[in-house]
Structure 1
Amino acid sequence: MDAPPKPWPTGLAEQCEPLVRRVLAPNASPYTYTGTQTYLVGAGQDVAVIDPGPAGGGVAGHADTNGSGHVEAILAAVGEARIAAILCTHTHRDHSPAAAVLKARTGAPIIGCAPLSMDDDGPRADAAFDPDYSPDRVLEDGERLGGSDWTIEAVATPGHTSNHLCYGLVESGALFTGDHVMAWSTSVVSPPDGDMSAYMASLQKLYDREDRVLYPAHGPAIDKPRQLVRGMLGHRRQREAQILRLLGDRPQAITDMVPVMYKGLDPRLTGAAGRSVLAHLIDLRHQGRVASEGELWSIPA
């Protein structure tokens, strides 16, 4: 999906529904679409902040033209309300670093996903893990957190990262999906932390739910959740079948498969596509359906 024409509503508080507003961070990139969307939940005396975003621009190697601007925009949107909780869906650094800044400014606790710090050997330099993320409380699957007029339930959705959580808003049937489900792009699943088997299981978990609307961290809201998730499950199964067909012809390296599988792909995303192919291959190897030797992958004899 192409990005909408500018100007984008960067820094503005947009009303999504009575209990939900969003504020767009200034960190647009080929991986983040128009930027990370921070959600404010609650219309009363206290609010929850979901995915506070980057502390700076959020993209490695890019000058930050509005470093503290996003935190200031969040605080302006919060106004006189109290921030009761700062929640992160996961700890890629386009999602979680501003949590520490918000906590320092407001005293609000950081609650939600577990910490995870590791070297990312993939191409997503803009999505390296946040090594400084330090939650005051980790939410388990199904655990709830409440405010003056809102209740949030944690939904464990590992796959994109092992610590990924979605958050359900009990009062309205909305689900905040982070990077797990997006309408503009499929999620990158990058080993070693990204796990395709876990990702598929998490997609099935969302398909089995009855959420009214999905609010991803990047891109537009999704008002037909089960239809989109069904399509995502089918898309991943098609990729798996495509890999098996290619390897049925001859042993191949990932660099051989990506140009065939992703025709017309933005060259800047070639590395990320290769990581997702690798995630599929690892899953297929666990199933005994493919084998590897060096960089070559093949169908076992």
Structure 2
Amino acid sequence: MQAGVAEQVAQGIRRILAPNPSAMTGPGTNTYILGHGAGVIVVDPGPAEEQHLATILAALDPTDTVTAILVTHAHNDHSAAAPRLSALTAAPVLAFGDARSGRSPLMQRLADSGFAGGGEGADLSFRPDRQLTDGTVLPCGDTLLRVIHTPGHMGGHICLGFGDVLLSGDHAMGWASSLISPPDGDMAAYMASLDRLMSERWSLMLPGHGPAVPEVAARLQALSDHRRAREAEVLAALRPAPATPTDLTRRIYHDIPPGLHAAAIRNVLAHLIDLAARNVVTCQDIPGPDTIFTRTDSL
């Protein structure tokens, strides 16, 4: 993968890597161009970076007409370039909603209580021209593009089925697990969405970051197993005494780069909020990094 170069990664799918590598984005954000000719769809135009926009436009054939710009979720590294690309192509921006859309009642109550996200780059200015719903089907050349609502990483996150190719956004990737940071992220919803994706057969997975994943079923299962193992670690670490997500993260995560420590705390917190909703743990205050959680079987 090389930033600024359009490459064909599957039949009818071109990928362009944005020049925004980081600890959270890996090599950068993947922008996908689906189809050829009169019905081209651009998925995740990426960060507001003029050179990346120029590369997207240069990758289009003279006969290509962009008819839609799809955004899998409203994080800046996926959505920020959408308004500018829309202005340049006259194509509408489509998404499930804005950065606050799709939250579960529990996550909305957390947000209403004053609990905020961890600064993961939500694009609070993002507004799609058209809102998509689960099951929406869009024509794209000779193939239909199917919208799959997959809350978890964000409430309004969507994956896309392009035939039997899964464009998975940030829900599932090959190089890392997804960040789940409440109230934008929801562990219970993430696991349910993962189960839904696992119920279908896919020939290839194209994530929002990192390389293509050919063994889709195995990777989705591995991600599910990883989350269940992490939940077990959280509960085991909580057995000796009540603790905060920050304390638990120090016990569970070993040798992670300092830049990922805050994200790890949010993932542990997401597990604890899910466990609290299932009455496996409890806490007295609004959940946060320094809230003390207790196993209910120790009360």
Corresponding residue to 1:71 among 53, 58, 61 = 53
1:168 matched to which residue of 2? Answer: 161
Q: Check conservation: 1:117, 1:129, Cα contact below 8 A.
A: no
Output the amino acid matched with 2:279: G
- Indicate the SS of the match to 1:108: coil
Summarize deviations over 1:40-86 as a string: whole Å, max 9, x none: 00033331100000113xxxxxxxxxxx0000000000132110110
Residue correspondences, number: 279
The Cα of 1:192 is off from its aligned counterpart by 1.0
1:3 matched to which residue of 2? Answer: none
- Indicate the SS of the match to 1:240: helix
The Cα of 1:133 is off from its aligned counterpart by 1.8
Output the amino acid matched with 1:164: H
Summarize deviations over 1:163-197 as a string: whole Å, max 9, x none: 00001102xx1011000000111000000121100
Q: Check conservation: 1:24, 1:36, Cα contact below 8 A.
A: yes
Of Structure 1 and Structure 2, which has the larger fraction of its residues in helix?
A: 2
The Cα of 1:276 is off from its aligned counterpart by 0.5
Q: Check conservation: 1:44, 1:149, Cα contact below 8 A.
A: no
Corresponding residue to 2:295 among 269, 294, 299 = 299
Aligned positions of 1:138-177 closer than 5 A: 138-170=131-163, 173-177=164-168
Output the amino acid matched with 1:137: R
2:107 matched to which residue of 1? Answer: none
- Indicate the SS of the match to 1:279: helix
Q: Check conservation: 2:284, 2:292, Cα contact below 8 A.
A: yes
Whole-angstrom CA distance in 1 between matches of 2:281 and 2:258: 27
Output the amino acid matched with 2:33: L
Whole-angstrom CA distance in 1 between matches of 2:30 and 2:244: 36
Summarize deviations over 1:206-238 as a string: whole Å, max 9, x none: 111111111001001111111111111111111
- Indicate the SS of the match to 2:78: coil
Summarize deviations over 1:111-152 as a string: whole Å, max 9, x none: 1321125999444x4x42112222122121111001333321
Corresponding residue to 1:50 among 43, 59, 65 = 43
Q: Check conservation: 1:18, 1:43, Cα contact below 8 A.
A: no
Indicate the RMSD between aligned Cα atoms, in angstroms: 1.6
Aligned positions of 1:218-237 closer than 5 A: 218-237=209-228
2:122 matched to which residue of 1? Answer: 129
Q: Check conservation: 2:15, 2:33, Cα contact below 8 A.
A: yes
Whole-angstrom CA distance in 2 between matches of 1:13 and 1:107: 21
1:61 matched to which residue of 2? Answer: none
2:280 matched to which residue of 1? Answer: 289
Output the amino acid matched with 2:158: L
Pair 1:272 & 2:263 matched: yes
Q: Check conservation: 2:151, 2:189, Cα contact below 8 A.
A: yes
Whole-angstrom CA distance in 2 between matches of 1:176 and 1:195: 20
1:99 matched to which residue of 2? Answer: 82
Whole-angstrom CA distance in 1 between matches of 2:21 and 2:212: 17
Q: Check conservation: 1:87, 1:113, Cα contact below 8 A.
A: no
- Indicate the SS of the match to 1:260: helix
Whole-angstrom CA distance in 1 between matches of 2:143 and 2:60: 15
Q: Check conservation: 1:11, 1:23, Cα contact below 8 A.
A: yes
Pair 1:205 & 2:205 matched: no
Output the amino acid matched with 1:106: T
The Cα of 1:90 is off from its aligned counterpart by 0.3
Summarize deviations over 1:246-266 as a string: whole Å, max 9, x none: 111111111211122111111
Unaligned runs of 5+ in 1: 1-7, 57-67
Corresponding residue to 1:186 among 163, 174, 177 = 177
- Indicate the SS of the match to 1:45: helix
